[in-house]
């Protein structure tokens, strides 16, 4: 079987990170990795904060956050006035859910490719308000057209108060046709929240082109920002209704400041986040995207090959820029969340490789990412050693 050639490495890129060189870090998607320059920038801001906390918090911090927000929103192709910085996508989704003021009889519709913690948040908000949630099953092999049809048929105008779809799904690494899904929901008057946790830095799509009512994305994954840096983008007609999870002193300032200002927190990550974009731009955004997607595709093929998965049975991500790819595990392996966690830990301990493992609809999947610090040899090594590890059970 011929495996596609891996991409040319980006020389020196690994040295930008402080990752343990004895480990293959093949799971950038879960928690990202912060370049050393970004860590240093955040540390400098922390030093400034600790040199005079009163001055740091009371003299200009709100404006500095607004400045960082405008810069980050512009990179995302979002309206800066409709963008709030938040700690992470999980929090951003919770802000939207509790701002909707759901009532008994309302429903929130999701798909079975959605992120687990967001699904738990939907469940809690529904339990609290008397609304219900409905999960639409979408086969892994569904085409974009089929996917849009499933979602269109699954909405109940007048009852469905929110549709949540993921731009790039976590358990299945599948690119959803978000603009088409938003358009289908809009025909029926259903608002849409797009969970774009992986989009910033990885996907070329702008937030404006998705056209969602609510768009939430992490900058701390593929945009090299310090952890705790995410964006909540809200369409104009909803902005007045958005309430923060925690009310603080900027409550009367309205959106977005009332959402951003959450009392005494460490905001230095947001202020350092532009250095992440600077790093990405210095490497070349398009070059990084092409490299990472090609490397993930290479990894999928070599590991899939080692596990005896025919190339046509390797799930297609749905677009060229996707830097996360799935490899189906043998039937019966890692089919539950506990078994998936156990296998992930075993691969880390025994093979020195950090990967994501998830059970989805009765099948276990390995998810491999590509990043500028990865090399083809890391996937080759995993491919050589994984079959034996799985055979030992």
- Which of the stretches 87-95, 256-264, 299-307, 332-340 binds ligand PLP when contact is defined by CB under 6 A? 87-95
Q: Does 195 bind ligand PLP (CB under 6 A)?
A: yes
- For the bound state, the minimum distance from the C-beta of residue 223 to ligand PLP, rounded and expressed in Å, comes to 12
- Which of the stretches 33-41, 71-79, 191-199, 315-323 binds ligand PLP when contact is defined by CB under 6 A? 191-199
Q: Does 190 bind ligand PLP (CB under 6 A)?
A: no
- Which of the stretches 192-200, 239-247, 334-342, 366-374 binds ligand PLP when contact is defined by CB under 6 A? 192-200
- Which of the stretches 33-41, 99-107, 194-202, 280-288 binds ligand PLP when contact is defined by CB under 6 A? 194-202
C-beta closer to ligand PLP: residue 24 or 356: 356
- Which of the stretches 68-76, 114-122, 179-187, 309-317 binds ligand PLP when contact is defined by CB under 6 A? 114-122
C-beta closer to ligand PLP: residue 56 or 215: 215
Q: Residue 354's beta-bridge partner residues?
A: 25
End-to-end C-alpha distance for the chain, whole angstroms: 27
C-beta closer to ligand PLP: residue 195 or 380: 195
- For the bound state, the minimum distance from the C-beta of residue 171 to ligand PLP, rounded and expressed in Å, comes to 8
DSSP 188: T
Residue with tokens 């996360």: 324
Buried-exposed string 79-101: b where 16+ CB fall within 10 A, e elsewhere:
beebbbbbbbbbbbbbbbbbbbe
Written as six digits, the tokens of 8 are 């040319």
Residue 134, φ and ψ in degrees, nearest 5: -135, 130
Written as six digits, the tokens of 119 are 């699904």
Q: Does 354 bind ligand PLP (CB under 6 A)?
A: no
Of positions 14, 30, 278, 319, contacts ligand PLP by CB under 6 A: 30
In angstroms, the CA 257 to CA 174 distance is 33
Of positions 27, 42, 83, 90, contacts ligand PLP by CB under 6 A: 90
C-alpha 24: how far from chain center: 21
User: Do the bridges between strand 192-195 and strand 214-218 make them parallel or antiparallel, or are there none, so unpaired?
Assistant: parallel
- For the bound state, the minimum distance from the C-beta of residue 14 to ligand PLP, rounded and expressed in Å, comes to 23
Residue pair 249/261 in contact (Cβ under 8 Å)? The answer is yes
C-beta closer to ligand PLP: residue 118 or 163: 118
C-beta closer to ligand PLP: residue 166 or 260: 166
Per the document, the length of the chain is 393
Site track for ligand PLP across 164-183, x = CB under 6 A: --x---x-------------
Written as six digits, the tokens of 18 are 């402080």
- For the bound state, the minimum distance from the C-beta of residue 32 to ligand PLP, rounded and expressed in Å, comes to 9
Of positions 118, 233, 272, 273, contacts ligand PLP by CB under 6 A: 118
Of positions 56, 75, 115, 261, contacts ligand PLP by CB under 6 A: 115
Q: Does 24 bind ligand PLP (CB under 6 A)?
A: no
C-beta closer to ligand PLP: residue 166 or 380: 166
Give the residue among 358, 353, 357 at the shortest CA–CA distance from 385.
Answer: 353
User: Do the bridges between strand 83-86 and strand 363-369 make them parallel or antiparallel, or are there none, so unpaired?
Assistant: unpaired
Q: Does 88 bind ligand PLP (CB under 6 A)?
A: yes
C-beta closer to ligand PLP: residue 223 or 383: 223
In angstroms, the CA 132 to CA 136 distance is 13
Site track for ligand PLP across 46-85, x = CB under 6 A: ----------------------------------------
Residue with tokens 């990084």: 288
Give the residue among 30, 29, 35 at the shortest CA–CA distance from 17.
Answer: 35
In angstroms, the CA 349 to CA 330 distance is 20
Residue pair 251/244 in contact (Cβ under 8 Å)? The answer is yes
Q: Does 197 bind ligand PLP (CB under 6 A)?
A: yes
Give the residue among 265, 285, 267 at the shortest CA–CA distance from 276.
Answer: 285
Give the residue among 128, 105, 107, 108 at the shortest CA–CA distance from 118.
Answer: 108
Binding-site ranges for ligand PLP (CB under 6 A): 30, 88-90, 115, 117-118, 166, 170, 195, 197-198, 218
């Amino acid at each position: 079987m011929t495996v596609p050639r891996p991409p040319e490495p980006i020389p020196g890129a690994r040295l930008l990170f402080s990752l343990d060189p004895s480990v293959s870090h093949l799971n950038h998607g879960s928690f990202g990795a912060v370049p050393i320059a970004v860590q240093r920038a955040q540390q400098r801001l922390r030093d400034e904060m600790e040199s005079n906390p009163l001055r740091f918090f009371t003299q200009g911090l709100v404006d500095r956050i607004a400045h960082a927000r405008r810069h980050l929103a512009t990179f995302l192709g979002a309206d800066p006035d409709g963008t709030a910085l938040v700690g992470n996508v999980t929090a951003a989704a919770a802000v939207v859910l509790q701002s909707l003021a759901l009532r008994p009889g309302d429903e929130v519709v999701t798909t079975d490719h959605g992120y687990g913690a967001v699904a738990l948040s939907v469940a809690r908000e529904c339990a609290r308000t008397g609304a219900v949630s409905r999960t639409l099953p979408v086969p892994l092999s569904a085409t974009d057209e089929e996917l849009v049809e499933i979602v269109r048929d699954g909405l109940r105008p007048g009852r469905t108060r929110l549709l949540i779809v993921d731009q790039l799904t976590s358990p299945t690494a599948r690119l959803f046709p978000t603009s088409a899904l938003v358009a289908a929901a809009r025909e029926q008057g259903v608002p849409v929240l797009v969970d774009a946790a992986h989009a910033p830095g990885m996907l070329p799509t702008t937030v404006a082109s998705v056209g969602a009512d609510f768009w939430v994305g992490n900058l701390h994954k593929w945009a090299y920002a310090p952890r705790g840096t995410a964006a909540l983008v809200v369409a104009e007609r909803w902005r007045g209704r958005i309430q923060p999870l925690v009310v603080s002193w900027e409550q009367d300032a309205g959106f977005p400041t009332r959402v951003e200002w959450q009392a005494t927190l460490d905001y230095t990550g947001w202020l350092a986040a532009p250095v992440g974009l600077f790093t990405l731009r210095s490497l070349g955004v398009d070059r990084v995207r092409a490299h990472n997607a090609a490397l993930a595709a290479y990894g999928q093929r070599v590991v899939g090959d080692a596990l005896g998965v025919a190339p046509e049975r390797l799930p297609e991500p749905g677009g060229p820029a996707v830097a996360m790819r799935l490899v189906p595990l043998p039937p019966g392996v890692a089919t539950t969340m506990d078994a998936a966690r156990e296998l992930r830990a075993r691969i880390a301990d025994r093979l020195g490789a950090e990967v994501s493992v998830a059970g989805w609809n009765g099948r276990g999947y390995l998810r491999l990412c590509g990043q500028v610090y990865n090399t083809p040899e890391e996937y080759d090594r995993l491919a050589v050693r994984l079959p034996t590890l799985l055979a030992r059970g």
